[in-house]
Amino acid sequence: MVKRDSELQWHRVCFQVEYVINKPLWWVDLILANEVVAPYLSIYTNRQIRLWRFHRRAADDKEKHKFSFIYYTSNRDAEHIYDGIASDDTLKALKKATLVLNSSYTQTGLKQIYEISDKEWLPAVREAWPYFAEGFSKAWLEIIKDLMLNKYAEPFREDKKPSVRYLSKAYKGVSDEMSQIWKKGSHPFLHHLSAIFAYETIHVPHMIGMRF
């Protein structure tokens, strides 16, 4: 388990993505994750960033489309990481193209690991869930990286700084593939998770209990 340090707390970097009604630009999230945030994860994970996860949402409401990077670290390291993200060339290009409207950094004030979890959950679940969230965020990011490497590696080698137009086309393709992976992912994602919990029936609100 992660050592609890009085200097550590949860921090959030939030990207406000251009919102298109009934057709969110989900692929912009993938660019932000892999091109903007991932380089800092490779540098700071384990020593400075103790835990992290991504959060995605898009709806026709006040919040619209937001992509968030949530990480547990010291205030000093958190601000240093955000300074790097905020000055990233790809992020600047996305803002210029109005695909990302703005980005912001927040100290949540949540100093205990479990505090980032839903308050309605059982204490044991609240303690464990941040580790689960990091796990599925890592898996999601690794799939994105693999698809980009295997299908779009050559153009990236030829152009060290891909244009927003190219990134948009490439990540739209990756996003479409990610959707298909999820739709067909009952075995890799749900079956093995279900097995850990002894294949018990799971009750989803407004749905019939299911097993995977």
What was the pLDDT predicted at 211? 55
Say if residues 110 and 116 touch (Cβ distance below 8 Å).
Answer: yes
pTM of the predicted protein model:
0.91
CATH 3.30.70.100 is held by the domain 8-116: yes
Task: With CA atoms as reference, report the closest residue to 185 among 153, 139, 148.
Answer: 139
| Distances in whole angstroms, Cα of residue 7 to Cα of each of 3, 68, 78, 79 | 11, 22, 11, 13
pLDDT digits (tens, 9 = 90+) for 56-88: 999 999 999 999 999 999 999 999 999 999 999
Q: Tell me if 6 sits within 8 A of 27, measured CB to CB.
A: no
pLDDT in tens, 175-184: 999 999 998 8
- Say what the pLDDT of residue 3 is: 46
Query: Which pLDDT tens digit goes with each residue over 105-140?
Result: 999 999 999 999 999 999 999 999 999 999 999 999
Structure tokens at 115: 């505090």
- Residue 12 has which token pair? 């959030």
Q: Which two tokens stand for residue 44?
A: 């700071």
What average pLDDT score do residues 13-22 get?
96
Tokens representing 176 are 């479409």
Q: What pLDDT, on a 0 to 100 scale, did the predictor assign at position 89?
A: 95
Least confident range from 48-52, 69-73, 74-78, 187-191: namely 187-191
Q: What is the percent of the chain with per-residue pLDDT over 70, rounded to a whole number? A: 91
Query: Is residue 168 over pLDDT 60?
Result: yes
Among candidates 14, 11, 12, which has minimal Cα distance to 100?
A: 14
In the chain, what are the domain boundaries?
A: 8-116
User: Around Cβ 25, how many Cβ atoms within 10 Å?
Assistant: 19
